[in-house]
Amino acid sequence: MKLAATPLSIKIMPNAPSPDLTGPLVVSLAYDGLCTFEFGVAYEIFGLPRPEMGETWYRFAVSGIEPGPFRAAGGLSVSVGHGLDILQAADLIVVPGWRAIDAPVPAPLIAALRAAHHRGARIMSLCSGVAVLAAAGLLAGLRATTHWRYVRPIADRYPDITLDADVLYIDQGSVLTAAGSAAGIDLCLHVVRGDFGAEAANSVARRLVVPPHREGGQAQFIEGPVLQEREGARFGPLLEWMRARLHEDQPIRLLADRAGMSMRTFQRRFEASTGLTPGEWLIGERLRAARDMLERKLSAPLEDIAAASGFGSLATMRHHFRTRLGVSPSAYRQRFACGE
């Protein structure tokens, strides 16, 4: 017997911020065609009850941009308790992936987002949600990112936006953008880290069973050849070996010998596997190690951290922190250190 498909109706809860919490109010948008994965990311990180975080943790609410109920991805029917009015009180507004990269954005939503931005609220887009921020004019003259498939359509339509397809997220202070859907997790954890510190972000990441921060960008996810099984078996142990020796010099010839390849073949296959050259991969891992030490070893001199993470000198570490993260090592420590 063939069963007819039946839409699943869901009433999103909580529809009002928890009265027991006093932290920043995060409001996620909901709309017809709602992207449920990105919405789920926002709720999981900002809306899920976390009593261990205390009463200053985020409050969470949902704003329907038009009268519902809405049809959401996956055959869901969604009803929401608030309209655009709640954006007037929001500290952070999350725009999940938009219903289509070229779908028009309603004028009332544009007006509400502009008003919220003008009074100082942060506005964040996940994946194709960048289309909403662009239509509202909030990204004019700024760097932004989105899923690599949408970079060209957005760039063609909004030439005053500098699109970067090689990052997972970009934080411009009051406006934040994430690349693909899963990169929304990275951006949300980044916000937690800035608001509540590294320990809180690490705690949320452990609950999600994801890394607290990832290096690299989207290059490794853009369509490319799948490695042969024997090459993956070579690179897995090699990458662990490299991570364990970040403080040592790792010339290409040494790495190629350990992988049992010629230098040319090694470089080609390493980049196909990771999306990065060996040198870029090492910089990313050294940054990860340095960040971890800066967050946890408050009394360690910066010179010692530079040496232990493999940068060799403080000047080199400063250069890569400023180039990749936009901050100095000392500023990073001041912002994210969680104590020893």
pTM of the model: 0.66
d(C-alpha 256, C-alpha 254), whole Å: 6
Q: What is the pLDDT of residues 218-253, one digit of tens each?
A: 443 444 333 444 444 567 788 889 999 999 999 999
pLDDT digits (tens, 9 = 90+) for 77-122: 888 889 999 999 999 999 999 998 999 999 999 999 999 999 999 9
Portions of the chain given CATH number 3.40.50.880:
8-208
Contacting residues for 243 by C-beta, under 8 A, at least 6 apart: 285
Looking at residue 234, its pLDDT comes to: 61
Q: How far apart, in whole angstroms, are the C-alpha atoms of residue 20 and residue 160?
A: 43
> What DSSP character marks residue 223?
S
Mean pLDDT of the 317-322 span: 91
Q: 252-269: per-residue pLDDT in tens?
A: 999 999 988 999 999 988
* Least trusted range by pLDDT, from 13-17, 149-153, 226-230, 294-298: 226-230
Mean pLDDT taken over the chain = 84
What sign for the dihedral angle of Cα 128, 131, 137, 142? positive
> E strands within the chain?
8-11, 25-30, 59-64, 70-72, 76-79, 92-95, 122-125, 143-144, 162-163, 169-171, 175-178
Residue type (1 letter), 118: H
Check if the beta carbon of residue 117 is closer than 8 Å to that of residue 175: yes
The answer to whether 270 and 219 have CB atoms below 8 angstroms apart is no
Contact between 181 and 127 (Cβ < 8 Å) = yes
**Letter string b/e over residues 183-204, b meaning 16 or more CB atoms within 10 A of that residue's CB:** bbbbbbbbbbbebbbbbbbbbb
Average pLDDT over residues 53-61: 94
Residue 14, preceding peptide bond in cis (omega within 30° of 0): yes
Indicate the residue type of 58: Y
pLDDT of residue 228: 44
User: How far out from the chain centre does Cα 12 lie?
Assistant: 24
29-52 pLDDT per residue, tens: 999 989 889 999 999 999 998 988
Q: What's the pLDDT at 314?
A: 94
Q: Could you tell me where in the chain the CATH 1.10.10.60 domains are found?
A: 226-340
Q: What is the pLDDT of residues 160-179, one digit of tens each?
A: 999 887 788 899 999 999 98
Tokens representing residue 127 in the block: 């994946």
Q: How many CB atoms lie within 10 A of CB 68?
A: 19
Identify the sign of the CA torsion 17, 18, 19, 20. negative
The per-residue pLDDT for 114 is 97
Q: What is the pLDDT of residue 227?
A: 42
**DSSP of 123-191:** EEE-GGGHHHHHHTTTTTTSEE---GGGHHHHHHH-TTSEE-TT-SEEE-SSEEEESSTTHHHHHHHHH
For residue 276, is pLDDT > 60? yes
Least confident of 70-74, 136-140, 240-244: 70-74
Instruction: Label each residue of 229-241 as H, E or C.
Output: HHHHHHHHHHHHH
Q: What was the pLDDT predicted at 160?
A: 95
| Most trustworthy range by pLDDT among 17-21, 125-129, 298-302 | 125-129
CATH 1.10.10.60, domain 226-340, yes or no:
yes
Q: Which one is the CATH code of 8-208: 1.10.287.70, 3.40.50.880, 3.20.20.10, 3.30.390.50?
A: 3.40.50.880
Q: What is the mean pLDDT of residues 190-213?
A: 82
